Structure formats: structure tokens, C-alpha cells
Structure 1
Amino acid sequence: MSEIARTSVIGAGLIGASWAALFLASGRSVAVFDPAAGTEAAVRDHVRTAWPAMTRIGLTKRGDPDRITFHPSPEEAVDGADFIQESVPERIAMKHDTYARIEPRLSSRAIVASSASGLTLGQMQKGWRSPGRFILGHPFNPPHLIPLVELMANEGTQPGVIEAAEAFYADIGKTTIRVQKEVPGHVANRLQAAIWREAIHLVESGVASVGDVDKAIASGPGLRWATMGPTTLFGLGAGQGGLAAFCDHFADTFNGWWDDLGSPRLNAANAKLLEEGLAEANEGRTVAELSQRRDAMLVAIQRALAELEPD
């Protein structure tokens, strides 16, 4: 088990509450701050809801859902914490204000990781007097079920901090990657954005409906992507020749496809088109119902993959 025993969650919306559930499942204590009314009830309910799914994929063996406390200020919530996951709204002034408030109260050994998806590490570091123990720790939603965390440090980060964060995240069941160059959206969100851009283009162009585009991903490459990444999979696509043979055989094909890809921009008109298409595809199912089904499927996939892991 990582040396990190006491955690804090600053910002307890959907992402923060999910982090809190996962930290509790790993046997850590969690101190929470969020200024919104009803935070305690909402987070406790989220933990209760998330616990069975985490149990089914083996994440709660050390856990105790009652080791959670709620605090009236971020300063109090981080007092004595070894690891702080910051998930406040992605407004840079709000981030900087939060950092200015908590920095004087942090332990000299504490690590602070931001869940930010739309802000860069460099932008956020400007809110710190000494940003050496502050890193990017961007999850995928919902964090208590999706293993990925994108980590980033830079020349302003103290030696050993990113390695300690990797060890902590691994101990709570996460899979980490390192972002080596600062770009908007990091890695996985840029890949998602590229796919969704073409999905929107296909719908706008009348090639397929919203529902059928979603089916094409979920019942096609999405299943493969749950097992391996695209480059690895294409490396299997030419048999013993590997990726070199695949690239040689399909270079003209892919270059032609890339030349023909769309480049739409999100606007009121295509947002309405997508919303109407999604409503038709979902056949009246609510957001809560769809979320429950998504989580059940995520659990099933991870349990199936776990059976293939060596003992």
C-alpha cells in the first residue's frame, strides 16, 4: 500500500464525489470541501451508489465508506492530508484562489493533483508560490470505474513527486500515462474530440443517424479499443508482417480517408441536430437509466478482462 493514508477532495461535484468514493474504497480517509449546499448528502449518496460497482471489480477490499468528513473551508479539508485531488470548476481564477487558500496549510509532503481537463498545468501553476508538489492528475469519467489517469509534471515539479503519485494511483487501481508535452485537452480528450468531430460530420452530412454512428463505435472499434490501443490493433491487422506491413498496405487508403474527414464546429444548429438524434436513439430512457446501464457495462467489461490477467 502506498504511504499515502489521508486524502482530501476539494470540489465535490460529479468528478470529486467519484474520487472520494474511490479513495474510501482503497482504505484511505477522505476530507471533503465544496461550498455547494447539500454537498454532504450528495457525496454520501454517490458513495453508496458507487460502492456495489466498485466491489464487483475488487476495489473495496480495504475500504470503509464511513471514513469521510466534511469541512467548511478548503484550508481545513487539506490540513494533514497526504494527497489532495482538486476538482473545482475549470475557471482559472477560481483555481488560483483555491490554491492561494490551501498552500499555507499543506504538509511539506503533500501532493496536490488537479483533475482539470481544459486547463494546462502551466496555467494552473501560476496560482502557486511554490508549485513543486502540484501536478496534473486528469481522470476519465467516472473516476471510480474508468482506470485512466493522465499525469503531467514539468521543470517546476520537485523530483519524486510524479513517481509518488503514480504509486498512489496504482495502489487504488488506476492506470496512469505521462503527458510529456503541454497541449490543450492532454491525450485522451484529444482522441475523443477527433472521433466526435467526425461523428458530427457524418450526421451533418446525412451519412448516418446519431444512433447508428454511436452503434458503429460501440459495436465495432469500441469493443477492440477496450482491449488494446489503435496502433497495437492495427499492428495485428496484417498478420505476421506487423505494423510495417499494415502501413505499407493501407497508406493510400488512410491518407484518402484523412483527406476526406470533416472539420465541423459545434454550434446551436448541430447541437440541436445531435440532441434530437440522441433522443430518438435513446427511446425515452432517462439520463439516470443510461448512466446506470453504462456503469453496469463498464463493470462487466473490467471483470471479464480481469479474468485474463495472470495470477
Structure 2
Amino acid sequence: MSETGESLHIAVIGTGVIGAAWVSGFLAAGHTVTAFDPAPEAEERLRSQLTGDTAADAASRPDRFRFASDLADAVSDADFVQENGPERLDVKQMMLADIAEAAPPEAIIASSTSGYAPSAISEQARTAPERIVVGHPFNPAHLVPVVEVVPSPDASFEVVDRALEMYRSIGKKPILVRAELPGHVVNRLQAALWQEAYSLVDRGVVSVADIDTAISYGPGLRWATLGPLALQHLSGGEGGMRHVLDHLGPPQEVWMHDLEQVHLDDQLKDKLVAGVDAELFGRDEKRLTAQRDSMLRDILELKTRYEELP
């Protein structure tokens, strides 16, 4: 629901894995959804991916969900559009220009792009391009709450606030990214960790399996409770973050300056692939994914019990 509790009309363009997750989230929150995807059998595939109450709504409530015959039909009376097309700049630009032309001028248009800036993807749009924002989810998008909202430099406060509120209305945890950067924020944070992980594997310092153990049984456990900066503050005792930065900052700087750049050449790729294959040998990847998702649900349910955690 919106901030006022009203059901809004949402258009979801592109209904692959990410698009299907958005459809489920918007329907579960009580919004009306119209979907469109030009791929053959896209409607049947989407309906098969919906589960529980959202599947029942999609099957029996045409007033709540329908699959449109074309893009213009899907967005013609939308309050909010979520685009999930292929991650190619030319395709994004063309799709978003078409959406902006066909959607009501007040509709917010969000793209799930994982790396392109809003000013780049809206370059061909002629109808209110400033209402095109990035609304980037995090895989698996049907479970992980974080969404990166990146407005264009020309976006109004009203557009930004409406986009943030839309994602909050479906149970997401949006963060506002105040500058256009390649990869936004979450992927850049991941890339910083991957860079050092790849480097350590490449230099033979540690195995792929031990990298994964180090994170999932170490800081990853803590990061599921609080973010890395809040955890730094707590580790400083009564002095908090100031104490940590004053006393541990100098050695941390040494470590940061010692991190090495890596190049993903074929030799390094082979090392990483072989390491993951060895780590997961004999494990059923479908069960692995299902258990990951089940644990994520348990963690999210746990987080609701502790009201002091942000």
C-alpha cells in the first residue's frame, strides 16, 4: 500500500526472475499489478513462479493482476513502473523511452539496472526523464529487503520520496544513493571484498573454501545483525567509533593500502572456478539454493524480534 494506505497500480516490465519477484512483492502488499514481457510463453512462466496468496490472486482476481498484450497497454495508467529488461544500455534506453512516452506523466519509472546511472538510461526519454530512477534489488530479490534508489541529478524531492515510500510499502529496505556511480553502492561494496578474495586465492594465500568459511562463519554472521560501521562502533566499548578510529585506524590503513588490484584473466578464472567446484563437490545445488532461501527467511524473521537493531 502507499503511504496513505491506498492500493496503487503497478506495471512490471520484464518478468524473468527479478520481474517475477517484483510482481510477487507488489501483489502481496495489496497493489494492483499489470505485467508485460515480449518473450514467448512469458505469461505462463510468470504465473508458474508465483506462489501462495499471490498465485491465488493472480489466478482468480483479474482486477488485481493481468498480463498485458503490449508495453503501452501495461503502463498506460500506472502509478509506478518497475522495468527489468536486459542489462544492456541500448536496450534500457529504448525501453525506458517507450515507457516514458506511454506512461502517465506523473508516474515514477524505476529500473532494476545493477550498474547503469539514471542519467544514462533516461538519455532517450523525452517525457519527464527526471522521474526515471534506479530501483535496484539484491539477489535473491524475492527475499532480500534492500533496494538501492538512485535518482537522476534533476529528480525532485517528491519523486525520490515517492520511490522510497513505494519500496517501503512492500516491505523493502530502500537506501538512497545520492550520487551516480558505476555499480551503485551494494555491488561496489561487494566488489571491494571480491577483489581481495580473488587476490588472496590468486597468490595461494588461502583456498576458495576457506575464503567462504572466513566470511560466512565470521564477519558475515555479525553483518546479518548490524552493518559493518555500527559493529565497529560497538567494538570500541565506551569510546565507540571514535576510539576504534583513533586506535585501530592506523593499522587498518596499512591493511587497506596493502590490498592488491587483480585482473580476471583466464588463469585466475580457472583457479576460482576450480575452487568453487571443489568446495561444492557432491552437493545438490537445488537443495543448496532452497536451504539458503530458507535460512534467509529465518534470519529475516529473527530480525523482527529485536527492536533495537536498525
TM-score over 0.5 for the pair: yes
Is the contact between residue 131 and residue 159 of structure 2 (CA under 8 Å) also seen in structure 1?
A: yes
Match of 1:232 in 2: 230
1:162-181 paired onto structure 2 within 5 Å: 162-181=160-179
Instruction: Indicate yes or no: 2:116 matched with 1:113.
Output: no
In structure 2, stretches of 5+ residues that fail to align are: none
Q: Which amino acid in 2 is paired with 1:64?
A: D
Aligned-pair CA distance for 1:4: 5.0
Q: Which amino acid in 1 is paired with 2:117?
A: T
After superposition, the Cα gap between the structure-2 partners of 1:291 and 1:93, relative to the gap in structure 1 and judged at 3 Å, is same
Aligned-pair CA distance for 1:279: 1.4
1:58-97 paired onto structure 2 within 5 Å: 64-66=57-59, 67-97=64-94
4+ residue runs over 4 A deviation: none
Is the contact between residue 169 and residue 175 of structure 1 (CA under 8 Å) also seen in structure 2?
A: yes
Instruction: Indicate yes or no: 2:32 matched with 1:29.
Output: yes
Match of 1:10 in 2: 13
After superposition, the Cα gap between the structure-2 partners of 1:284 and 1:40, relative to the gap in structure 1 and judged at 3 Å, is farther
Aligned-pair CA distance for 1:6: 1.2
SS in 1 for 2:174: strand
Match of 1:20 in 2: 23
After superposition, the Cα gap between the structure-2 partners of 1:65 and 1:286, relative to the gap in structure 1 and judged at 3 Å, is farther
Q: Of the candidates 40, 45, 64, which is equivalent to residue 43 of structure 2?
A: 40
Q: Of the candidates 243, 246, 249, which is equivalent to residue 244 of structure 2?
A: 246
Percent of aligned pairs with the same residue? 41
TM-score by length of 2: 0.91
Q: Of the candidates 144, 149, 160, which is equivalent to residue 142 of structure 2?
A: 144
Q: RCO (CA 8 Å, sep 6+): is it higher in 1 or 2? A: 1
After superposition, the Cα gap between the structure-2 partners of 1:258 and 1:158, relative to the gap in structure 1 and judged at 3 Å, is closer
After superposition, the Cα gap between the structure-2 partners of 1:285 and 1:34, relative to the gap in structure 1 and judged at 3 Å, is farther
Number of residues of Structure 1 aligned to a counterpart in Structure 2 = 299
Task: Supply the distance in 1 between the matched residues of 2:49 and 2:282 (Cα, whole angstroms).
Answer: 24
Task: Supply the distance in 2 between the matched residues of 1:246 and 1:133 (Cα, whole angstroms).
Answer: 41
Q: Of the candidates 189, 204, 207, which is equivalent to residue 206 of structure 1?
A: 204
Deviation per CA, 1:256-285: give whole Å up to 9, x if none.
211221211222222221111111111233
In structure 1, stretches of 5+ residues that fail to align are: none
Aligned-pair CA distance for 1:82: 1.1
Match of 1:194 in 2: 192
Instruction: Indicate yes or no: 2:121 matched with 1:124.
Output: yes
Task: Supply the distance in 1 between the matched residues of 2:303 and 2:280 (Cα, whole angstroms).
Answer: 28
Task: Supply the distance in 2 between the matched residues of 1:4 and 1:153 (Cα, whole angstroms).
Answer: 24
Is the contact between residue 12 and residue 34 of structure 1 (CA under 8 Å) also seen in structure 2?
A: yes
Task: Supply the distance in 2 between the matched residues of 1:127 and 1:269 (Cα, whole angstroms).
Answer: 40
Is the contact between residue 208 and residue 272 of structure 2 (CA under 8 Å) also seen in structure 1?
A: yes
SS in 1 for 2:50: helix
Task: Supply the distance in 2 between the matched residues of 1:251 and 1:5 (Cα, whole angstroms).
Answer: 48
Deviation per CA, 1:69-92: give whole Å up to 9, x if none.
222321111121111101101111
Task: Supply the distance in 2 between the matched residues of 1:221 and 1:204 (Cα, whole angstroms).
Answer: 22
Is the contact between residue 12 and residue 35 of structure 2 (CA under 8 Å) also seen in structure 1?
A: yes
Aligned-pair CA distance for 1:173: 0.4
Aligned-pair CA distance for 1:195: 0.4
